[in-house]
Structure 1
Amino acid sequence: MNAKAIVGSFIVSLAANLNAKRSLALTVSSAQSLEFPSADEKVHGDNWQRTLKSDSTFDFIAADLPLGMGRERATIGTSNVMAPKNWLLIAQALRHLAPGGTCIALVEPPAFGLAEGPAFVAALKAEGYRLSGVFNTPPNLLSSTSIRPVLVAVVRDKKEGLFVAELEDEAQARSVAHSFSKGKTADSLNEGIELADGGFKGFESLKAKLQLERLETQYKQYQTYTLGELAEDIITVRSGEKMEHRDNAIYVPMLGTSHVTNDLSELTIKHHNVFQVVLSSNAKSEYVSAFFTSDLGLLILRSLTTGAWIQKLNKSTLQQASVALPELPEQEEIVLSHQRMNALAGAIGKFKKELALNPRNASAIRSQVDGMLEQINGLSEAERIMNMAREGESATLEFKESFSLDVRKGKCEKYIEISSLKTIAAFLNTDGGTLLVGVADSGEVKGVGDEISKYYKSNDRFMLHFKNRLKTSIGEQFYPFVHQRLVDVSGATVLTVVCDPSPTPCYLDGNAFYVRTNPATDKLEGPRLVEYVQNHFASRNK
């Protein structure tokens, strides 16, 4: 994946979709992250303002500015603000933006979410400019640093709302550019979502929020609290001091990669770099620490760090951390499961030692391990499905509430089946993907158990019907690339269909050709179909 090409495709497409009559590519110092070869005018260097005529205006400006330039105080209109120098350069470039025009610029994450951001954005707004879009660039755009910069769109209009999306590949980036220019939004970052002005705190924060919303649909009995609501006290110590044990407490690192723990003796970093959070009685420290070591918990903590270069948690942001909290009996059950897993890890260690000392027990040990693996694989697949349901649909993931059943009419309909088959064909024709049947668009895992019991009477008959539909609509030649099975997910039966990329084109019912674009399935016809088949499958079969 060429990150620079993806960003370049987005910028060129955006300028074209906005019908920019006159465009400018502005590069300052050594910045070379943005590509805009079709610009009408190009300016490079620290003295760019002398190069441009003072009365020059453009409908579209792409500003490639160096990051981490330090801060300065400057006047924007009637406002005196302190801001990073590259932000101030954006403000200067906006003087050349025509009414209704758009300026795209690369800035540090989380966009203008740093401490000076609100005052800077307010100063721009007072002068008639608005932050209208934030776009997460692909990883490794800046090869010299792990920082993942973002693109901001500043427009000269008086509308409301903020468009937010991630750029993942060239085709998807062009689609996002089209959606942004036309004001079209969806419910995923792949297509672009709309937030209220001032509602963006960074992509990690937004992803955590979206996952928490989906978590609530999976576990409706769970309540979401902030850590501030659960904390009786948050304690820090000075450099060189040691923390004292407190009952029902967790320990949260301020920075770095150390994990949250509920055991003071497990800390591997100095105590002045840790928050000690003493919890109220309705939250068990073992559960809360386990929550913050999960993928979702880690995402929530990362979303609350501040600083463009050195990411650090502070006390006020830590208090905003969301915790999905079940009732105490369920917390205790989860804690017990973690303890059993730790015991299992210890048992496996003993098995290894026993095998080395007494090879004659190899057969018995293997039998026990095989039994454990069978159970673990089933549990891990269910958890993987729950994680995918929380993350939401994407170019390689699709949800269907049922395979045959129209849930609104309460009866089986052929067009419901065709919807799933279109998705399978699209995955085969694109880059592969997973179809989860029994998961609603909201991420709620409903399962297909009722559909099976009412219309098919058994799992085997349901799976036979599914395979017959694959045979008639997709074709037996694609069987090696389609892997289907039923998985029990917390009592709900989910049909998982994992599709590999096919080396040859797949036509649904022998004539309709579908591809995957973002979390959507599109039909290709005519010249677009011919071009796609020639280019896509030729490169795949090289």
Structure 2
Amino acid sequence: MKVTILTSKKKYSTGIVEEFGTRNAFSEEGIMVRLKNGDIGRVKKIILSEPELNERISAEIKNLIKGGENFRTEFKAEVLWSVVYNPIQLKESKSLEIREYGTRASKVIIAKSIAALLNSDGGNLIIGVKENKEKKSFEILGIDEDMKRAREPDADSYKRIIIDEIIKAFFPPKIFHHLNDYISFEFATIEEKTVCWIKIKKSDSRVFLKINDKEIFMIRVDSENRTLEGEKLVDYCIKKWGGR
């Protein structure tokens, strides 16, 4: 077992546990252990190996997929599908998002999903999952092909695109500057396919997207995202946040 301990000299040390302390060594401050490097201290953090961590995250994602889309969970196949559209494809597309936002359409769709969860009760956006309408179920597609559209085909670059080209581009500065207060990312390999799990906390104040110089307010209703305007928007904000 790999852990991080706090020694009697108030220094942190990380390593493999060689020996556990006696019963009277147990306390609310952590279990007393000796590491293979010789350091002795109380356990402050248990560190999972990469395979163990992937297994844990994969199990959580599978449970969310099994539960289907709902008020707190949404699935998307890709983030970057529209960036490769050429002028002819853009012109011939019947997608309302493509017509309005062009090659940015797929990023705008992700932005709306994140904003809807922020303005509701928070939840999960899982990328790399698509609906199989014939089987009436969801299946893991993976983002491996989508990642190839990034500057570097890896999870870090993919995450950076979501942060810089979606969060920073369309959201209020407070979301970008305090990202960890609202959004976190997990990547896992399931069935040899990479899946991106975006965990979203509910916002402590209303969040408007700004796209093409227009402010857009999204909420989650059942398993759908909806735009609110006018009186409905005002009423929702008053009930949700009061005067904030």
Q: Which TM-score applies when normalising by structure 1?
A: 0.32
Aligned pair 1:388/2:64, yes or no? Answer: yes
Query: Which position in structure 1 is the counterpart of 2:125?
Result: 435
Report the residue type matching 1:503 in the other structure.
D
Distance 1:375 1:534, change over 3 A: same
Report the residue type matching 1:538 in the other structure.
G
Distance 1:353 1:522, change over 3 A: same
C-alpha distance in structure 2 between counterparts of 1:396 and 1:501, whole Å: 10
Aligned pair 1:514/2:218, yes or no? Answer: yes
Aligned pair 1:492/2:196, yes or no? Answer: no
Distance 1:511 1:458, change over 3 A: same
Query: Which position in structure 1 is the counterpart of 2:109?
Result: 419
Q: CA deviation at 1:444?
A: 0.9
Aligned pair 1:363/2:22, yes or no? Answer: no
Query: Which position in structure 1 is the counterpart of 2:227?
Result: 523
Query: Which position in structure 2 is the counterpart of 1:188?
Result: none
Contact 2:19–2:33 under 8 Å retained in 1 = no
**1:228-267 counterparts in 2 under 5 A?**
none
C-alpha distance in structure 1 between counterparts of 2:48 and 2:119, whole Å: 37
Q: Secondary structure at the match of 1:464?
A: helix
C-alpha distance in structure 2 between counterparts of 1:501 and 1:519, whole Å: 16
**1:121-270 counterparts in 2 under 5 A?**
none
Q: CA deviation at 1:457?
A: 2.3
C-alpha distance in structure 2 between counterparts of 1:421 and 1:437, whole Å: 13
Q: CA deviation at 1:441?
A: 2.1
**1:338-377 counterparts in 2 under 5 A?**
354-356=20-22, 361-364=33-36, 370-372=46-48, 375-377=51-53
State which structure, 1 or 2, has the greater radius of gyration over its C-alpha atoms: 1
Query: Which position in structure 2 is the counterpart of 1:474?
Result: 171
- The CA deviation string for residues 279-336 of structure 1, in whole angstroms up to 9 with x for no partner, is xxxxxxxxxxxxxxxxxxxxxxxxxxxxxxxxxxxxxxxxxxxxxxxxxxxxxxxxxx
Aligned pair 1:462/2:155, yes or no? Answer: no
Report the residue type matching 2:200 in the other structure.
C
Q: Secondary structure at the match of 1:456?
A: coil
Q: Secondary structure at the match of 1:393?
A: coil
- The CA deviation string for residues 126-168 of structure 1, in whole angstroms up to 9 with x for no partner, is xxxxxxxxxxxxxxxxxxxxxxxxxxxxxxxxxxxxxxxxxxx
C-alpha distance in structure 2 between counterparts of 1:407 and 1:426, whole Å: 23
Q: CA deviation at 1:390?
A: 1.5
Q: Secondary structure at the match of 2:124?
A: strand
Q: Secondary structure at the match of 1:418?
A: helix
C-alpha distance in structure 2 between counterparts of 1:536 and 1:358, whole Å: 49
Identity of aligned residues (%): 21
Q: CA deviation at 1:362?
A: 2.4
Distance 1:528 1:492, change over 3 A: same
**1:33-48 counterparts in 2 under 5 A?**
none
Contact 2:69–2:223 under 8 Å retained in 1 = yes
Choose from 143, 148, 152 the match for 1:453. Answer: 148
C-alpha distance in structure 1 between counterparts of 2:105 and 2:81, whole Å: 10
- The answer for unaligned runs of 5 or more in structure 1 is 1-350
Report the residue type matching 1:501 in the other structure.
K
Report the residue type matching 1:476 in the other structure.
P
Greater strand percent: which structure?
2
Q: CA deviation at 1:500?
A: 0.6
Contact 1:383–1:489 under 8 Å retained in 2 = no
Q: Secondary structure at the match of 1:434?
A: strand
Query: Which position in structure 2 is the counterpart of 1:173?
Result: none
Q: CA deviation at 1:464?
A: 1.6
Q: CA deviation at 1:404?
A: 1.3
Aligned pair 1:502/2:213, yes or no? Answer: no
Contact 1:428–1:501 under 8 Å retained in 2 = yes
- The CA deviation string for residues 377-417 of structure 1, in whole angstroms up to 9 with x for no partner, is 33111111011112110010000000111599799931111
Distance 1:475 1:491, change over 3 A: farther
How many residue pairs get matched? 189
Choose from 48, 55, 80 the match for 1:404. Answer: 80
Contact 1:514–1:522 under 8 Å retained in 2 = yes
Contact 1:382–1:489 under 8 Å retained in 2 = yes
Report the residue type matching 1:458 in the other structure.
P
C-alpha distance in structure 1 between counterparts of 2:186 and 2:113, whole Å: 17
Contact 2:18–2:34 under 8 Å retained in 1 = no
C-alpha distance in structure 2 between counterparts of 1:436 and 1:508, whole Å: 20
C-alpha distance in structure 1 between counterparts of 2:209 and 2:227, whole Å: 10
- The CA deviation string for residues 108-136 of structure 1, in whole angstroms up to 9 with x for no partner, is xxxxxxxxxxxxxxxxxxxxxxxxxxxxx
C-alpha distance in structure 2 between counterparts of 1:371 and 1:537, whole Å: 38
Contact 1:423–1:521 under 8 Å retained in 2 = yes
- The answer for unaligned runs of 5 or more in structure 2 is 1-16, 26-31, 90-101, 133-137
C-alpha distance in structure 1 between counterparts of 2:163 and 2:84, whole Å: 25
Question: How well do the aligned residues superpose, as a CA RMSD in angstroms?
Answer: 3.3
Distance 1:376 1:455, change over 3 A: closer
C-alpha distance in structure 2 between counterparts of 1:408 and 1:446, whole Å: 19
Contact 2:128–2:141 under 8 Å retained in 1 = yes
